[in-house]
Amino acid sequence: MARPVIAIVGRPNVGKSTIFNRIIGDRLAIVEDKPGVTRDRIYGSGEWSGKTFSIIDTGGIEIDGEDEIMKSVRMQAELAIEEADVIIFMVDAKSGLTNADDEVAQMLYRSRKPVVVAVNKVDNIGRMDDIYEFYSLGFGQPIAISGSHGTGIGDLLDAVIEKLPEMKEDEYDEDVIRVALIGRPNVGKSSLVNALLGEERVIVSDVAGTTRDAIDTPFERDGQRYVLIDTAGMRKRGKVYETTEKYSVMRAMKAIERADVVLILINGEEGIIEQDKHIAGYAHEAGKASVFVVNKWDVVEKDDKTMQNFVQSIRDNFQFMTYAPIVFLSAKTKSRLHKLLPVVNHVSEQHAMRIQTHLLNDVVADAVAMNQPPYDKGKRLRINYVTQVAVRPPTIVILSMIRN
């Protein structure tokens, strides 16, 4: 199930990145007392009152900014507004209501999205009276917060959670394997969907970015049911705010969340580039079963070591994903295509595997017997108990204590 999306927007230097970092519990966004520091949208995730969500930090919106950087920052913020289910509109109690705040408010009115006004820099009780002028923005009760002290964040999230839509569960049965195809534009995702289905179900074009939305396509092979989730190609951040690409990154991330198995497509003709690492990182961070698919293998000039060298290149460039198998194929000619679905089935089974507790404890006991835990300040770590607490991905908890 895809998570709802929250966007934090406002004019520059009102403290958006500080609040973003507090909500996600990490210093992902750069915090500096200088307008325009956050130029791109930054994505994170959070949880409050049992609900998980994606959250976007944006650069400050300067309505009259004429230079190219400020124009792109504003466009990034506009796209975040379009992607969001709820918007946190950040304003500044110290500077009060400004004309720039009014301009941002007009942009938010046009979006017709639910909005919660967060009045930042209410650092002491004496500033509480400063929030009342923000009622005139027309978005209901403003929430007083302090990014520097961390106060009011719970009240803000309570107000946001109230406005989040109920996300619908996927309607697919448990035995259906949901497969997301991700990769930069023009690596052949739509061609691979068509090759697997044996028919032209998805538009295929040599123009990068032809597939705009995520498309669910169910099919069955050898008694196993699948759903292919084709996604728009992920572009580099510098290009993501082109109008035709405005939803591609967020929708691809939502497709990853919904998937059981993620196919990371790489253009075998062009080789690995830095953007491939960023894309693979999304699947890795989401804890998904993954397969590297090297497409367009038919046009690669080969000798007896070409495949071996490409495998080594993948392992060198994706050292954080040594667990992911690699399949070489050509969606165009269907060469080696038959090897893909058995690998998908295998990683799906591994991802859902549950190991009996006694087996886990036996394995850990054997490991400890061969390599005793080290001493720390004269005390040794003792592993008491090991158990698996979740699947997809398999998650194992080790209970331990320090003993003399």
Angstrom distance (rounded) from CA 283 to CA 259: 10
For 277, other C-beta atoms within 10 Å of its C-beta total 15
DSSP string across 206-237: SSTT---S-EEEEEEETTEEEEEEE-PPPPPG
pTM over the 0.95 mark = no
Task: For the chain of 404 residues, list the mean pLDDT of each consecutive stretch of 10.
Answer: 82 86 67 39 78 80 55 65 88 91 89 94 88 94 92 94 78 84 86 81 45 64 86 47 46 80 94 89 91 95 92 95 96 95 96 93 91 79 88 90 65
pLDDT given for residue 197 in this prediction: 86
Q: Which of 259, 250, 286 is nearest to 85 (CA)?
A: 250
Query: Hey, what domains does the chain have and what are their CATH numbers?
Result: 5-163 (3.40.50.300), 177-350 (3.40.50.300), 357-403 (3.30.300.20)
> Which residues, in sequence order, are CB contacts of 237 under 8 Å at separation 6+?
40
Known binding positions for GTP: 10-17, 57-61, 120-123, 183-190, 230-234, 295-298
pLDDT digits (tens, 9 = 90+) for 164-207: 887 666 567 788 999 999 988 788 888 898 898 886 554 444 44
φ, ψ (nearest 5 deg) of residue 347:
-70, -30
